[in-house]
Chains A and B, each alone.
Chain A
């Protein structure tokens, strides 16, 4: 019954390759379609039935419009501000809190841990949180997107687990030499946490990059909107586009010019998505590591 590369097996392997290629195409195709449609002649795109594989009569009018749209550059700038300050704040709170929870012989460690963990499983919900932010006067304040999200208990637990894996002899030796906890944290633990730090900082940065719900609730002034809020206005709330879809059925002339509006949306999608997609393959190993860290239990 010895089977070695039977025809069935060769067939199976071929099938696997084909299925994986189809999967890959499905993953890429939407964004590829957006890209192709964003640089092709709108009159061709609107007549297209099905997938447009290659661009037709390339032009960059839509991109010119995006680049001249001040909202997009303001959005990028604000997103970077929130990302840098939010991530830095969260990271600082994370290392400071993880230290005590990783330390041996701390009397109040258990109750403090419980105090942290309860918040992972139970919360006041959206409305009391909103009312609190409101009564603190943080509405339309950039800090509303940073301060309340400073404590990430999950990250603290991951960092704590990592600190506990650092050999005790290092901190004990420093302790005997008269070093305090701050010194041990910043001179021993932090330098030994490169990979975990990279993972946590990356996930936090991606969180800030994607954030739109909190800005929608808390920000009024459009000058403070992050990129995703600007995109939401363009891509989701475009009421003109909705009205246009109905009119388009009546007059082909209008629908043609209206597709240009869709094309501008597509250009927005490409401009806002490409930076992350270009960076991500280089950072992939950290993200994968992050998934594993998150699934590890002590």
Chain B
């Protein structure tokens, strides 16, 4: 009975099935085969032998990673960079959106919005190139800072203790305006009649903000915060690759960049696959936890 209906389904929908076959094949090759390739984390991978025939070594690479001096530093750096990005980067778009929302002059509002989205369209390579130029010994930010702090100029990007600040601040500059879009949309959905009745009742703007505007966007804030927490260990690796130097590894080297160096540059395939796998699994756990938390608290979830 079931077999028959499948046959009928295939003959009825064969064109639609034909359409989806390319995507199924592409995903099989470029997503599912690499997933299978994870087994090299438990093998001593030799290119000549391939995924299949390389000899098993069990958890050797996981052990050697955790025994190494890097492990703790990488985990700490990965966590701190994304934690600081969240801590400072999360509230600012909300504040910007609320400020823009208070403006009644349409031209001014539009202009500020257009300008604030602009950094998002500057490519990461160019942003990092600007940072490198501005923060070098004779760069304009270095000069400005040394002028303000009355200290001699130095290559700020080459100093490990500055890296987190530079990474987080430039990240905020890139995405602040863009991230405010979603809050602006939520704000425009707040019922305008509420403001009118509040005004009649004598509530000033500040009280309207506190009692109407903020409660209106709290659900959006909560959902986005939970999603952000779900990504707490996924940091923008490729931007770090552009910005860091061996001088700043102490604070800048993260799991993703370590995987890249060991794997792609030093061809240490099994170890880097093992490290990458741990990162993927921890991210997945965080995402599942955040999603579960979101579902029980706000009834919003990804799945």
Q: Are A20 and B19 touching (Cβ within 8 A)?
A: no
A272 interfacial by beta-carbon distance below 8 Å? yes
Q: Are A280 and B205 touching (Cβ within 8 A)?
A: no
Q: Are B125 and A128 touching (Cβ within 8 A)?
A: no
B276's contact among A2, A46, A126, A232, by CB below 8 Å, is which? A126
B169 shortest CB reach to chain A, Å? 10
A3-B202, A265-B129, A291-B181 are known contacts. Are A100 and B17 too (CB-CB below 8 A)? yes
- A contact residues around B9 at 8 Å (CB): 105-108
B162 interfacial by beta-carbon distance below 8 Å? no
- Interface segment, A55-63, A64-72, A178-186, A191-199? A178-186
B250 shortest CB reach to chain A, Å? 19
- Beta-carbon contacts of A19-54 to B below 8 Å, as 1s and 0s? 110011011101101100100000000101111100
Instruction: Closest A residue to B35 by CB, please name it.
Output: A124
- B contact residues around A122 at 8 Å (CB): 35, 280, 284
- Beta-carbon contacts of B233-271 to A below 8 Å, as 1s and 0s? 000001001100000000000001001100110000100
Q: Are A50 and B147 touching (Cβ within 8 A)?
A: yes
- Beta-carbon contacts of A139-159 to B below 8 Å, as 1s and 0s? 000000001101100001000
Q: Which of B135-180 contact A (CB under 8 A)?
A: 136-138, 140, 143-144, 147, 155, 173, 177-178
B23 interfacial by beta-carbon distance below 8 Å? yes
Q: Which of B106-122 contact A (CB under 8 A)?
A: 108, 111-112, 114-119, 121-122
Most buried by A among B40, B50, B138: B138
Q: Are A236 and B128 touching (Cβ within 8 A)?
A: yes
| Distance A75 CA – B23 CA, assembled complex (angstroms) | 30
- Interface segment, B62-70, B72-80, B82-90, B97-105? B97-105
| Distance A218 CA – B238 CA, assembled complex (angstroms) | 15
B93 shortest CB reach to chain A, Å? 11
A27's contact among B15, B118, B132, B147, by CB below 8 Å, is which? B118
Most buried by B among A125, A151, A236: A125
Q: Are B263 and A151 touching (Cβ within 8 A)?
A: no
Q: Are A181 and B15 touching (Cβ within 8 A)?
A: yes
A100-B17, A206-B121 are known contacts. Are A127 and B133 too (CB-CB below 8 A)? no
Q: Are B37 and A128 touching (Cβ within 8 A)?
A: yes
Q: Are A124 and B112 touching (Cβ within 8 A)?
A: no
A223 interfacial by beta-carbon distance below 8 Å? no
| Distance A132 CA – B47 CA, assembled complex (angstroms) | 11
- A contact residues around B260 at 8 Å (CB): 126
Most buried by B among A30, A106, A180, A255: A30
- B contact residues around A78 at 8 Å (CB): none
Q: Which of B177-200 contact A (CB under 8 A)?
A: 177-178, 181-182, 185
Rank and list the top 7 A-B pairs by shortest CB-CB distance, nearest first: A124-B34, A235-B129, A128-B37, A181-B15, A125-B276, A107-B9, A128-B34
- B contact residues around A19 at 8 Å (CB): 99
A20-B100, A106-B13, A132-B33 are known contacts. Are A97 and B287 too (CB-CB below 8 A)? no
Q: Are B24 and A115 touching (Cβ within 8 A)?
A: yes
A34-B130, A121-B284, A280-B121 are known contacts. Are A126 and B264 too (CB-CB below 8 A)? yes
Q: Are B272 and A127 touching (Cβ within 8 A)?
A: yes
- 24 A-B pairs, CB-CB below 8 angstroms? A20-B108, A20-B112, A23-B96, A24-B112, A33-B134, A48-B143, A96-B20, A100-B17, A119-B32, A125-B276, A125-B279, A126-B259, A126-B272, A128-B40, A130-B264, A131-B47, A132-B34, A150-B23, A231-B129, A232-B242, A236-B129, A241-B136, A281-B114, A292-B181
Interface size class of B (residues with CB under 8 A): 35 or more
Q: Are B26 and A150 touching (Cβ within 8 A)?
A: yes
- Beta-carbon contacts of B2-36 to A below 8 Å, as 1s and 0s? 00011001001101110110111011011111111
| Distance A231 CA – B197 CA, assembled complex (angstroms) | 56
Q: Are A128 and B38 touching (Cβ within 8 A)?
A: yes
- A contact residues around B34 at 8 Å (CB): 123-125, 128-129, 132
| Distance A37 CA – B204 CA, assembled complex (angstroms) | 47
Q: Are A236 and B132 touching (Cβ within 8 A)?
A: yes
| Distance A22 CA – B38 CA, assembled complex (angstroms) | 49
Q: Are B22 and A93 touching (Cβ within 8 A)?
A: yes
| Distance A103 CA – B19 CA, assembled complex (angstroms) | 12
Instruction: Closest B residue to A269 by CB, please name it.
Output: B126
A276 interfacial by beta-carbon distance below 8 Å? yes
B110 shortest CB reach to chain A, Å? 9
Q: Are B130 and A30 touching (Cβ within 8 A)?
A: yes
| Apart from A108-B6, A125-B280: 19 A-B pairs, beta carbons within 8 A | A9-B205, A24-B115, A33-B134, A52-B140, A93-B22, A97-B19, A105-B13, A123-B35, A123-B280, A124-B36, A126-B260, A132-B34, A181-B19, A212-B124, A232-B129, A262-B133, A265-B129, A272-B123, A292-B182
